[in-house]
Amino acid sequence: MGNICRSPIADVVIEQRLAEAGLSGSVTVESFGTGPWHVGEPMDERSARVLREAGYDATRHRGRQVTAEHAGRFDLVLGMDHANVTDLVALLPGDAERILRFRDLDPEGPGDVPDPYAGGPEGFTSTLAVVERTADALVDRLGDTLPVREPTA
């Protein structure tokens, strides 16, 4: 929603998984929120902490908001929950067929990625676990369809 918790975690994890799979040069990942509350801000410190503790780089993210100007720009748009998917369809009406919930790709089954914002540290840890397994499944699927290509400098 605000682009400071779940989506930034997913962005960082997917980028790392793509790099490990040799797909960085074939896929571009961008993270946006559906609302303007945190545009320009770094990710929530609790998100950054759980990423750092798991060995990820959480320093480069700044909150952004998806707008109608982004319509048609993406091959796949992943919303973290039903409410975000509904907002994304409204914001990107021509892209509706490319919009899924993130966990539609989760090997443990579809559903919403719980929003850890109002909870304690354990919510961020469980969000990371959901994101990691779903990112692995996403990258596996992409690896089956895309050529492995190292990124250009």
Q: Could you give the CA distance from residue 76 to residue 95 in angstroms, rounded to a whole number? A: 9
Determine whether 49 is an active site residue: no
Determine whether 149 is an active site residue: no
End-to-end CA distance of the chain: 32
User: 37 near 5, Cβ under 8 Å?
Assistant: no
- Of the residues 104, 115, 136, 141, only one is catalytic, namely 115
- Of the residues 6, 46, 64, 103, only one is catalytic, namely 6
Plot region of 128 (φ>0 → left; ψ -120 to 50 → alpha; else → beta): alpha
User: 18 near 147, Cβ under 8 Å?
Assistant: no
Residue numbers annotated as active site: 6, 115
